[in-house]
Chains A and B, each alone.
Chain A
Amino acid sequence: MTENEVVRSLAGVLAAAGPVIFGVTGETISERAGIINLSMNGTILLSAMGGFAVSLSTHSLALGFLAGAGIGALVATVVAFSSITLKQSQVAVGFVLALLCRDLSYFLGNPIMGQMGPRVSLLPIPGLQHLPLLGPLLFTQDPMTYLSFILIFLAWFFIFRTRPGLMLRGIGEKPAAAYVRGANVGRLRYFYAALGGAVAGLAGPIYSLSVKAGWKGTISGLDGIGWIVLAITIFGGWSPFRAALGAYLFAFLQWLGLVLQPSLPGVPSQVLQVAPFPLMILTLLLVNIGQAEWVERTLARMPEPVRRDLGKLLRAMNVTPPAALGTPFEKD
């Protein structure tokens, strides 16, 4: 591979990570507010199909993206309704929606399967696109990829640097305290669940109108992405920067699988495509293992210098979820 090809491939990796970043950021917002939206796999498939169908019939990309966001918000609202208003298990309802929306997308998308539709074109940034290396890498992308770069910073700034962001963290960590401070916990949770769902819902049209343009039913290759999104949200420790890192790592690994394919003829392509999954388990293991009791006990028995360094390493990788994640809030 020439240097040029490498840069172009890496630019492709950045673009492929775009929808994952939207999904992970949406889920992060929702989980920060205390709502696990487990429907992500169905949400992304249904919004991909819906966004493509709308674009196909209206010839408008914008309406396609809007439809994707709308579907995401709608599905998330069902999760919020069942958990906030009806006090049902978020995991159960989310899982059912993950399967239901997937089947809905296959059923309703059947007539438009394989059709050629509109797709987002590249939008090189004038002046910056000719920069050596950075030009082709960062500034010769399509608009949604630029938005994915901006979204990372925007989400971080909102969550950690603004008052509403503080309140968002509050209703996910200590809803009772936020309630005392005057927050309407139920209404805010509804809002952030829907907002997170809308952001994640954009991931669908980004696939069907750009990264993997078109709708090909069960062979669209999107089944499973939503589950990865949920895992990266944990890996990301509910922080947009670390989550983005996870998304880029995932996209890079998938690309690596494709590149390595010709040099490993004995291995079917389906095997290399799952390479990120064992790695996902491993990373989840690494970010969680520091909390396990037996690890603490083993550490305590080690000589002081080793213990200090190992402990520091484990703590650095360790992430803790929002304290009230998945639990209903009762004001009494």
Chain B
Amino acid sequence: MRDTPSRRVLFQVGAVVLALLVTTVVLIAAKAPPLAAFANIVQGAFGSWDVTSNVLVAWVPLLLVTSGLLLTFTVGLWNIGIEGQIILGGIFATWALRVYGSSGMSPTVVLILAFVAGMVGGSLWAMLAGALKTFGGVNEIFGGLGLNFVATALNIWLIFGPWKRPGVASMSGTLPFDQRLWMPTVTPQSMLSVPTVIIAVAAIAIVYLMIQGTYFGLRLKAVGKNAKAAYILGIPTWQHMMASFALCGLFAGVAGAVQVTAVYHRLIPSISSGYGYLGLMVAMLINYKAAFAAPVALFFAALNVGSIQLPIVLRLDSSLAGVLQGTLVLFVLLGHGVRQRVLKKPQVVS
């Protein structure tokens, strides 16, 4: 059999069906009604405008980190440290709001400063992982993981120490910022902020164009395909790796700033909400192709938000969303392998 686009789609559909089947088996094993659980997730994600707007709230940071990760994946790097980069983005944005919030500057300027600070924070943390890799020979996976734990500790120390609420420090985070410094939302109760949606869409568009249409993107691809060959052809290899780390951290930092300024309005211990690891899954699922990032990230965000009420309605753990996402990515990866084994590449007719 030949490898044609339609057969490729068939394999993707097959992966989705298998993932649903396995999740169903897991649900039956947990003595839970599968159909009710799936219906509950759909209801929880699209049942009302309120929950759907929450899906978009989750979509923004997820799309931002996925955009950044596409750059590090293009150059052949596994930026697992992305979680820490989101956290540092949140910390730096909080710092900017604390310093300039009461300085009399207009709130718009302060918020822009907070986003810039978030970018700097995420970028610096990513470059630390990059420097460990380039100059210390520390594999970016382990350096990044270690830095994630350090970032978490730094965050908790700030919340319980220097930035603690007046009176008693708690896991609920720092004191909320003045309302003037909240990102504008569609309604006063909603967490959905249109400017952040625009930023996220712009981010994935920029990354798409950068990879598809610029020499920089081409060089990143060359380094990713074969670093040694790229080096011999005169591409400064480690500089490109470092640049992709810095840019990825920048996007992660924006995600952290969004979490702080638009969603929580304060710094909380779990400010990254696992979006970094989820972004890695999204990037793998779309086979590192920027064109599919937005819809797949939306789907993953819907699963996350849709499963929030599972514990209340069906007494199930909300980690069901992770089970479904994980099996889906696993079967898509395995599907690539099976396809390459079973199907031949179509003959090029010249």
Task: Answer yes or no: do A and B interact.
Answer: yes
List residues of chain A with CB under 8 Å of any chain B CB: 38, 78, 81-82, 85-89, 91-93, 95-97, 99-104, 106-108, 110-111, 217, 224, 227, 230-231, 234, 266-268, 270-271, 273-274, 277-278, 280-281, 284-285, 288-289, 291-292, 294
The answer to whether B26 touches A288, judged by C-beta atoms less than 8 angstroms apart, is no
The answer to whether A227 touches B145, judged by C-beta atoms less than 8 angstroms apart, is yes
Question: What are the interface flags for B170-204 relative to A under an 8 Å C-beta threshold, 1 for contact and 0 otherwise?
Answer: 00000000000000000000000000000000000
- Give the interface SS of chain A, mostly helix, strand, loop or mixed: helix
Contacts of A285 in B (CB 8 A): 132, 136-138
Partner of B333, one of A82, A99, A234: A82
The answer to whether A103 touches B137, judged by C-beta atoms less than 8 angstroms apart, is no
The answer to whether A86 touches B338, judged by C-beta atoms less than 8 angstroms apart, is yes
Chain B residue with the shortest CB-CB distance to A291: B137
Taking the complex as formed, is B93 at the interface, i.e. its CB lies under 8 A from any CB of chain A?
A: no
The answer to whether B136 touches A274, judged by C-beta atoms less than 8 angstroms apart, is no
Taking the complex as formed, is B109 at the interface, i.e. its CB lies under 8 A from any CB of chain A?
A: no
Taking the complex as formed, is B334 at the interface, i.e. its CB lies under 8 A from any CB of chain A?
A: yes
The answer to whether A288 touches B136, judged by C-beta atoms less than 8 angstroms apart, is yes
Partner of A292, one of B135, B284, B329: B135
Q: List 23 A-B contacts (CB under 8 A).
A: A81-B334, A88-B337, A92-B284, A93-B333, A99-B322, A103-B319, A104-B319, A107-B322, A108-B29, A110-B316, A227-B145, A231-B142, A231-B146, A234-B139, A234-B142, A268-B156, A271-B156, A277-B146, A277-B153, A281-B132, A285-B136, A288-B136, A289-B136
Given contacts A82-B334, A92-B284, A277-B150, 16 further A-B contacts (CB under 8 A): A85-B337, A86-B338, A87-B341, A88-B334, A93-B330, A95-B280, A95-B284, A110-B316, A110-B317, A231-B145, A270-B152, A271-B157, A273-B153, A274-B152, A288-B136, A289-B137
Chain B residue with the shortest CB-CB distance to A286: B136
Partner of B330, one of A97, A230, A266, A281: A97
The answer to whether B333 touches A96, judged by C-beta atoms less than 8 angstroms apart, is yes
Contacts of B95 in A (CB 8 A): none
CA distance A85 to B338 in the complex (A): 9
Give, as a whole number of angstroms, the nearest-CB distance from B166 to chain A.
16
Chain A residue with the shortest CB-CB distance to B154: A271
B residues 291-350 in Cβ contact with A at 8 Å:
316-317, 319-323, 325-327, 329-330, 333-334, 336-338, 340-341
The answer to whether A284 touches B333, judged by C-beta atoms less than 8 angstroms apart, is no
Taking the complex as formed, is B147 at the interface, i.e. its CB lies under 8 A from any CB of chain A?
A: yes
Task: Identify the interface centre among B143, B153, B341: most chain A CB within 10 Å of its CB.
Answer: B153
The answer to whether B153 touches A270, judged by C-beta atoms less than 8 angstroms apart, is yes
Chain A residue with the shortest CB-CB distance to B324: A103
CA distance A274 to B344 in the complex (A): 49
CA distance A85 to B333 in the complex (A): 13
The answer to whether A107 touches B136, judged by C-beta atoms less than 8 angstroms apart, is no
Taking the complex as formed, is B46 at the interface, i.e. its CB lies under 8 A from any CB of chain A?
A: no
The answer to whether B146 touches A281, judged by C-beta atoms less than 8 angstroms apart, is yes
Contacts of B157 in A (CB 8 A): 267-268, 271
Question: What are the interface flags for B15-33 relative to A under an 8 Å C-beta threshold, 1 for contact and 0 otherwise?
Answer: 0000000000010011000
Contacts of B320 in A (CB 8 A): 103, 107
Taking the complex as formed, is B281 at the interface, i.e. its CB lies under 8 A from any CB of chain A?
A: yes
Total residues of chain B contacting the partner, CB 8 A: 48
Given A110-B317, A278-B146, A285-B138, A88:B336 Cβ within 8 A: yes
Taking the complex as formed, is B277 at the interface, i.e. its CB lies under 8 A from any CB of chain A?
A: yes
Give, as a whole number of angstroms, the nearest-CB distance from B78 to chain A.
6
Chain B residue with the shortest CB-CB distance to A109: B317
The answer to whether B30 touches A100, judged by C-beta atoms less than 8 angstroms apart, is no
Chain A residue with the shortest CB-CB distance to B274: A99
Chain A residue with the shortest CB-CB distance to B330: A96
CA distance A184 to B321 in the complex (A): 40
Chain B residue with the shortest CB-CB distance to A278: B150
The answer to whether B141 touches A91, judged by C-beta atoms less than 8 angstroms apart, is yes
Taking the complex as formed, is B47 at the interface, i.e. its CB lies under 8 A from any CB of chain A?
A: no
Partner of A96, one of B137, B161, B281: B281
Contacts of B216 in A (CB 8 A): none
Contacts of B341 in A (CB 8 A): 85-87
Taking the complex as formed, is B231 at the interface, i.e. its CB lies under 8 A from any CB of chain A?
A: no
Contacts of A292 in B (CB 8 A): 135-137
Contacts of B334 in A (CB 8 A): 81-82, 86, 88, 93
Give, as a whole number of angstroms, the nearest-CB distance from A69 to chain B.
20
CA distance A250 to B341 in the complex (A): 43
Contacts of B145 in A (CB 8 A): 227, 231
Chain A residue with the shortest CB-CB distance to B278: A99
3 tightest A-B contacts by CB?
A86-B337, A100-B326, A103-B322
Contacts of B80 in A (CB 8 A): 95
The answer to whether A100 touches B330, judged by C-beta atoms less than 8 angstroms apart, is yes
Chain B residue with the shortest CB-CB distance to A268: B160
Contacts of A270 in B (CB 8 A): 152-153, 156
Chain B residue with the shortest CB-CB distance to A281: B146
Give, as a whole number of angstroms, the nearest-CB distance from B230 to chain A.
17
Task: Identify the interface centre among A38, A91, A92, A278: most chain B CB within 10 Å of its CB.
Answer: A92
Question: What are the interface flags for B243-285 relative to A under an 8 Å C-beta threshold, 1 for contact and 0 otherwise?
Answer: 0000000000000000000000000000000000100110010
CA distance A96 to B139 in the complex (A): 19
Task: Identify the interface centre among A82, A100, A108: most chain B CB within 10 Å of its CB.
Answer: A100
Partner of B319, one of A106, A231, A278: A106
The answer to whether B149 touches A107, judged by C-beta atoms less than 8 angstroms apart, is no
Chain A residue with the shortest CB-CB distance to B322: A103
